[in-house]
Amino acid sequence: MKKLLQKFDTRTLGLLLLLAALSRYLIANVWEKWNIGMVIIGGLLIIVGIAANFRQMMASLGKRSTKYLANYVVSLILVIAIVAGLNYLGQKHPKRFDMTAVGSYTLAPQTVQVLQKLKKDVDIKAFFSGGDYAPLKELLTEYQTESRHIRFEFIDPDKRPDVAKQFEVTTYGTVQDPFTGRQVKFGTVVVSCSDSTRKEKVEKRSEEVQEQDLTNAIIKVGRSEAKKIYFIQGHGEKDPADTEQTGYSEVKKGLEDQGYKVDTLNLAGQGKVPDDAKVLIDAGATTEPFPQEIQFISDFLNTKGGGMLLLVDPPPSPSFDSLLKAWGIQADKDMVLDVSGLGRLMGAGPSMPLVQRYENHKITERFRIMTFFPFTRSIQPDKNPPNGITVETLFKSNDNSWGETNLGSKEASFDPQKDLKGPLPLAVAASKEIKPSSDNAPAQKSRLVVAGTSNFPMNSYFANAGNGNLFLNMVSWLAQDEDLISIRPKSPEDRRMVLSQSQLATLRLVAIFLLPGIALIAGVAVVLNRRRR
C-alpha cells in the first residue's frame, strides 16, 4: 500500500483540490459545503502524500537542486504574501487615479466637500432592470471612496417587487438613443439618511443618473430643515417663474436643487419680511422701492440675522443709496466698459466685462472659473465703513476698463475728469454682528452681497462659464451654508467621435490588414535572414 502511495503522489491531487476550492469561491463569492469538502479532502491527500514519501523528502533536502527549489518556493510565497497584503490595504484604504482628459472619473469639488463632511450614514438604493448598471456603479464607487458613510445597493424591481412597492418605484427600464442606437438604462435612485425619515427620489426616464443628481439628493436628505429664500417683487425685478432668456427660472431650479425653498415676496402687500425668511433677493429693480419697504429690509437685516443679495443694474435703475450707505457701500452711477478684448470670447463687446481673478473671500474661495457680467455698474466699498461692519470686494473688472458716466452718449471713450479708471469692483460682501457670542451660542451676524448687474445669472447665462456657480455661492454664504460653497458638478461632456463611412473603411483597412500585414512581413523577413546565416 505504501509503495502504491509513493508511486501515485497524492500531494499533487490534494493541491489541485485546494486550488479548485479557492477558484470556486472567487467565482461564486460564496463559501459552500462543496468548497469545505474539497479543502478537507485535499488537505488529507497532502498529509497522506507527505507521510508516504517522508524518507525520500528528507533525503533530497541536502541536494543542491532542492535548495534552489526551496529558495524559489520561499521567494514565491513572499511575493504572494506581499501582493495579498497590498491588495488588503487597497481594499481598506482605496485610492483611485483619473487618467481621462476631461476628468470623467473625478468628482466635483462640491461633491467631495459634501461627502467629506458627512457625519451620518447615507443609504442609496438604485432600482434598475437586471439589478445592475455599470456607469452608475462606477460613480457610486467614487462616492464610497470619498466617504465611509456612503452605502449603496442595486435592486432589480422585477425580481423584488415588494421592495420596489415599498419605495414607490415605478420608473425604470431601457431606452434606445435614436441617433446612436445605444441602449441606455434608466431607473430610480432613492437616497435616505440613517437618522431621518426624509427620502429623496431621483427618477430618470430617458437618461443616466448624473453626479449633480446624487449630490443634490445627499444635500437635501442631510438637512434638518429647508431654508426659505424670497425673491422681492413689485418694482420690475427678475421673476423666478419666468422661463424666458431674461428670466430666473434656472436660478430657482439651482436653489431648489440645493435644498432651499423658493418663494416671491411683495413687501408693500405683505407689510413685513416673513418670519421664516433666511435670504432676500432683489434682482434688477427698475423703480425705487418705497421708504417703508427699505425699512422692512433694514429691520430684517438688523434684527433677525438674515442675508440679502442685491443686484443693482446701471442707471436709470435705482441705486438703493439709503440702504447701502448704512452698510458702507456705494453703487456708482456708471456702466463698466472693458476694452481688453476678452468679451470677444463670449461673442460680446466692451459692455460685458469678464472676470478671471477673484479676491480672497469665502464666496470665491477656490473659485477659478471665468465669469462675465453684461451691463454692469461698479460697486464701491467705503474706505471707512460704519462701526461693526466689514465690507470686502469679491472681484474687479480688467485693468483695461473704466466706469463710463456719460450714459446718454452713443459713443464712449475714457474721460479721466469724469469717468472711473479700472480695475473697478463689481461686487462686494458685507457682514455685521447684531448679537455677540455667549457661552451657549456663537455670535449672530447678518450679511449683504451687492453686485452691479442682475443679468449675469439669468437663464441665458446661468449655465455658461462660472456664472451659475458664483450666484449659488453668494446665496450659500448669505444663508450661512458655507459647506455648499464650491464648484458644482457639471453634466458629463459628450466626446464621442463620429466617423464617416469612408473614414470607417480606412480604419478597418489599417486595423485588419495593414498593421497585421506589416507584422507578418517583418516576421518573415527575420526568419529568412536567420536562415541565410
- pLDDT interval class at 5 (50, 70, 90): very low
Please tell me the distance from the alpha carbon of residue 140 to that of residue 149, in angstroms, as a whole number: 12
Please tell me the distance from the alpha carbon of residue 449 to that of residue 436, in angstroms, as a whole number: 22
Contact (CB, 8 A) for 377 and 314: yes
207-215: average pLDDT: 83
- pLDDT interval class at 470 (50, 70, 90): very high
Instruction: Report whether pLDDT(102) > 60.
Output: no
Contact (CB, 8 A) for 294 and 338: no
443-454: average pLDDT: 92
Please tell me the distance from the alpha carbon of residue 30 to that of residue 153, in angstroms, as a whole number: 18
Q: Is 133 exposed, middle or buried (0-12, 13-18, 19+ CB in 10 A)?
A: buried
13-41: average pLDDT: 72
Provide the mean pLDDT of the chain. Answer: 82
Please tell me the distance from the alpha carbon of residue 443 to that of residue 433, in angstroms, as a whole number: 7
pLDDT the model gives residue 218: 87
pLDDT the model gives residue 460: 92
- pLDDT interval class at 389 (50, 70, 90): very high
Q: Report if pTM > 0.95.
A: no
The C-alpha cell at 417 is 475728469
446-469: average pLDDT: 93
The DSSP line for 443-485 is PEEEEEEEES-S-TTSTTTTTSTTHHHHHHHHHHHHTT-GGG-
Report which secondary-structure segment, H or E, holds 503. Answer: helix 501-508
Q: What is the pLDDT of residues 147-198, one digit of tens each?
A: 889 999 999 999 999 998 998 888 888 877 655 666 777 889 999 987 667 7
- The residue type found at 131 is G
Instruction: Report whether pLDDT(416) > 90.
Output: no
All residues at 6 or more sequence positions from 142 whose CB lies less than 8 Å from its CB, including other chains: 96, 105, 107
Q: What is the pLDDT of residues 316-352, one digit of tens each?
A: 999 999 999 999 999 999 999 988 777 666 667 788 9
Compute, in degrees rounded to 10, the torsion defined by CA atoms 245, 249, 250, 255.
160
Determine what percent of the chain is predicted with pLDDT higher than 70: 79
